[in-house]
Amino acid sequence: MSAVAATTGTSGATACGKTSGELRHVAIIMDGNGRWAKKRFLPRIAGHRKGIEAVRAVSRGAREQGIDVLTLYAFSSENWRRPAEEISDLMGLLRHFIQTDIDELDESNVRLRVIGDHNAFAPDLVALIDAAVERTSTNSGSTLVIGLNYGSQDEIVRAARKLAGRDPATIDAAALEAELDTGDLPPVDLLIRTSGEQRLSNFMLWQAAYAELLFVDTLWPDFGKAALAEAVATYNLRERRFGGL
């Protein structure tokens, strides 16, 4: 059962009488790890570690709510500008997450997907990511998508290059969408950004064209199942017209 059907009934009608589309795909810009640590006079890595706990909680919460696809922006193509020590810490946390959580994801019938060019990472990490993706590739439950070295503009450029040799008359929105990293996934219904920032930061610009946007003040390490449920409840109160009346 979808998250909307589970909370509003099969018609999707909300408490205020509006009708919202089925909630299949939630995408989150996970922001605020560094500020969470700074508020506690801790090193930034402490915030990133706590952020991994939030990833686990939100991933479990999404499954419990029947959300088909959860996409998390973990490492952007612009994050290479950060200090080398912090990048190393992030790569170490990514290794640890895959090694410790892949069993739970697999046993929960979750399919792990990666968008972006993760081949830019160290060879051993690339192999670890590829093995995890392959191990869960036939799972038929929900899908957890992780954005790694991901930038939406780069993704669109790569898709355009794939279409460059085709007859222009055959190229439409559906053709380009099929070449995106998310070509086989539903469009984003709800896009959440934590920490109070209100920008998309080059994240899923195409896929979120008609998404409901939700900016919350909660720092990512403090975002969990309850916060996700609240976000879904907010979504259920929205009226989606997709350009119509």
With beta carbons less than 8 A apart as the criterion, state whether 47 and 213 touch: no
Tell me: is residue 32 an annotated ligand-binding position: yes
Is 56 assigned to a binding site?
Answer: no
- What are the backbone angles phi and psi of residue 102, rounded to the nearest 5°? -65, -35
User: Is 201 labelled as part of a ligand binding site?
Assistant: yes
135 is in an annotated binding site: no
**Residue 36 marked ligand-binding:** yes
* 80 labeled part of a ligand binding site: yes
Q: Are strands 190-193 and 212-215 parallel, antiparallel or unpaired?
A: parallel
Of 74, 78, 120, the C-alpha closest to 94 is 74
How far apart are alpha carbons 57 and 128 in whole angstroms?
Answer: 22
Indicate if 31 belongs to the active site. Answer: yes
- Which residue among 68, 79, 119, 184 is the active-site one? 79
How many Cα atoms occupy the beta-carbon half-sphere of 204 within 13 Å? 33
Active-site residue identified among 31, 101, 181, 189? 31
113 annotated among ligand-binding-site residues: no
Is 139 marked active-site? no
Catalytic residues: 31, 79
Point out the annotated binding site for substrate: 32-36, 44, 48, 76-78, 80, 82, 193, 199-201
Point out the annotated binding site: 31-36, 44, 48, 76-78, 80, 82, 193, 199-201, 212
